[in-house]
């Protein structure tokens, strides 16, 4: 009987050691999981193939530069492809209709436009979800230049699940 108790005592020590190791392993896994959830980094490569974190300031500014280029630089021959790209990122039917109306006006009137942003003039205003950039806007109807002035282009964006959306835009 004493021998049976001694064997049970030894078995209990082994089981307690195994349980302690399992508890330590579980705590380690919980710690690693918590760290990974709080330090999650999703990396994408965007034109011009820069590595940026999704949702970070650089990510938003790179998409803003892409959208600004597609919205502000066009001619009657390229407008269709540019609008097809932008419609994928339109936030609402209202912005889609605005883009389609502008595309139709550009085709019908044979408008060409060029917007050249000034280096270092990109401004991100998170509270308003807007990006502002100053630059020179030139516009032609056919071969006649009808506009050549400095303007501020304002782009409104939102990011959902890592995907950027165009909410609106305007010239000031």
pLDDT at residue 21 greater than cutoff 90: yes
Q: Is pLDDT of 54 > 90?
A: no
Q: Please tell me the predicted confidence (pLDDT) of residue 63.
A: 86
Q: Provide the token pair at 166.
A: 């165009």
- pTM metric for this prediction: 0.67
Q: Dihedral sign, CA of 159, 163, 167, 168?
A: positive
Cα–Cα distances (Å) from 61 to 26, 78, 97, 164, in that order, read 41, 24, 25, 11
Alpha carbon dihedral 64, 65, 71, 73, in 10-degree steps, equals 170
Rounded Cα gap, residues 35 and 158, in angstroms: 27
pLDDT at res. 61? 86
pLDDT in tens, 148-165: 999 999 999 888 777 888
CATH number (3.30.465.10, 2.60.120.200, 3.90.76.10, 3.10.450.230) of 54-171 reads 3.10.450.230
Q: Is the pLDDT of residue 57 over 90?
A: no
Q: Are 106 and 79 in contact (CB under 8 A)?
A: yes
Residue 112's SS3 state is strand
pLDDT at 95: 87
Cα separation, 64 vs 62, in Å, equals 5
What is the model's pLDDT at position 30?
A: 94
Percent of the chain with pLDDT over 90: 29
Residue 56: DSSP 8-state:
S
């Amino acid at each position: 009987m004493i021998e049976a108790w001694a064997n049970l005592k030894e078995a209990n020590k082994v089981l307690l050691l195994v349980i302690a190791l399992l508890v330590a392993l579980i705590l380690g896994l919980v710690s690693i999981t918590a760290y990974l959830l709080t330090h999650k980094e999703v990396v994408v490569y965007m034109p011009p193939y820069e590595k940026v974190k999704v949702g970070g300031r650089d990510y938003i500014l790179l998409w803003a530069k892409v959208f600004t280029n597609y919205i502000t630089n066009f001619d009657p021959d390229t407008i269709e492809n540019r609008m097809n790209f932008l419609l994928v990122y339109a936030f609402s039917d209202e912005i889609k209709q605005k883009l389609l109306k502008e595309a139709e006006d550009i085709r019908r009137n044979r408008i060409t436009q060029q917007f050249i942003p000034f280096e270092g003039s990109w401004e991100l205003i998170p509270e308003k979800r807007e990006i502002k950039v100053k630059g020179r806007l030139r516009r032609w109807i056919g071969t006649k230049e009808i506009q050549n002035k400095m303007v501020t282009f304002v782009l409104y964006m939102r990011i959902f699940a890592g995907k950027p959306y165009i909410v609106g835009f305007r010239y000031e």
